[in-house]
């Protein structure tokens, strides 16, 4: 199915879906990426596949509120990304693969910033994930001193902790060592998480996770 021209904008969102994209339009200067794209994501893990440049990361950023669509609507439950943007963003987190932003911060300060942005976050759970990823010793370091893998682990530790309805993870397995991969898979596949959270991840590798859906862009 060609998801870029999926269904007309009048199609109502699926009942019971957590994340709903309805008639989504997005274009770059030189090309249209999504034209009236309608998708619904339920609780559990959806694997978003596609070739480089197909729009996987853009779709995650649109769903995460980091980009604004040129048309259509995005909802998390009943929250509209445009009309209730702050409440919407509080319910989702985009875990990207970009190089460290806020380069002047230490790891602890970067975490504190995000804990302040999402005040309902459980610090004990965060510390558990940081310990599992072997990051506790890096807290006083400048965030720019982390390796690619450590930065990925830091983002994932935060993503796994935040009390959000929608978790959008771009290439979660890139740069991770074997132990971290096993821990991440264990956490993502936790039954409670699968019941309550909508997880959309992109990966060029087979996720080896219990998937509710695979989407090809």
Partner 1 sequence: MPFWRADNVVGLQQSVLLLTAAAGAILWLWPVFPDALAGAATSAALILLTDRGDKAIREQITVLRPAMAAWPVATRGLEWTARGLGLLPGWLILVLCAVLLAGNGVAHSHKAGALYLAVAAAAQLALVGLPDGGARGRVGLVMISILVLTAIGSELWT
Residues lying near partner 1 in the complex (CB under 8 A) are found at: 61, 64-67, 86-87, 89-90, 93-94, 101-105, 117-118, 142, 144
Nearer to partner 1, 135 or 143 (CB): 143
Please, which residue, 60 or 176, has the CB nearer to partner 1?
60
Give the DSSP letter of residue 108.
H
In the complex with partner 1, the residue whose CB is nearer, 104 or 192, is: 104
Minimum distance of partner 1 from residue 143's CB (angstroms): 10
Residue 41 C-beta: closest distance to partner 1, Å: 18
In angstroms, what is the minimal distance from the CB of 159 to partner 1? Answer: 12
Rounded Cα distance, 137 and 140, in Å:
8
Identity of the residue, 34 or 94, whose beta carbon is nearer to partner 1 in the bound complex: 94
- Determine how many CB atoms are found less than 10 A away from the CB of residue 195: 9
CA proximity to 58, closest of 47, 44, 69, 71: 69
Query: Could you tell me the smallest distance in angstroms from the CB atom of residue 139 to partner 1?
Result: 16
**CB closer to partner 1 out of 36 and 89:** 89
Cβ-based nearer residue to partner 1, 118 or 212: 118
Q: How many CB atoms lie within 10 A of CB 43?
A: 19
Phi-psi region of 39 (alpha: psi -120 to 50; beta: other; left: phi over 0): beta
Whole-number Cα distances in Å, 188 to 61, 83, 92: 20, 30, 16
Cα gap 189→33, rounded to integer Å = 31
Minimum CB separation of residue 20 from partner 1 in Å reads 18
Q: Give the closest residue to 125 by CA, choosing from 158, 92, 159, 161.
A: 161
């Amino acid at each position: 199915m060609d998801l870029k021209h999926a269904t007309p904008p009048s199609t109502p969102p699926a009942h019971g879906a957590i994340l709903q994209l309805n008639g989504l339009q997005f274009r770059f200067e030189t090309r249209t990426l999504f034209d009236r794209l309608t998708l619904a994501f339920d609780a559990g893990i959806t694997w978003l596949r596609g070739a480089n440049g197909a729009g996987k990361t853009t779709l995650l950023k649109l769903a995460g509120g980091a980009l604004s669509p040129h048309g259509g609507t995005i909802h998390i439950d009943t929250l509209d990304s445009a009309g209730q943007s702050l409440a919407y963003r509080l319910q989702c987190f985009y875990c990207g693969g970009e190089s460290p932003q806020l380069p002047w911060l230490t790891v602890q300060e970067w975490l504190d910033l995000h804990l302040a942005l999402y005040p309902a976050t459980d610090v004990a759970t965060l510390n558990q994930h940081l310990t599992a990823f072997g990051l506790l010793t890096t807290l006083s370091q400048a965030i720019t001193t982390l390796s690619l893998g450590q930065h990925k682990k830091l983002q994932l530790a935060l993503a796994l902790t935040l009390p959000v309805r929608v978790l959008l993870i771009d290439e979660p397995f890139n740069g991770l060592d074997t132990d971290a991969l096993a821990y991440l898979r264990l956490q993502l596949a936790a039954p409670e998480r699968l019941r309550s959270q909508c997880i959309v991840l992109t990966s060029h590798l087979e996720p080896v996770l219990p998937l509710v859906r695979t989407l090809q862009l």
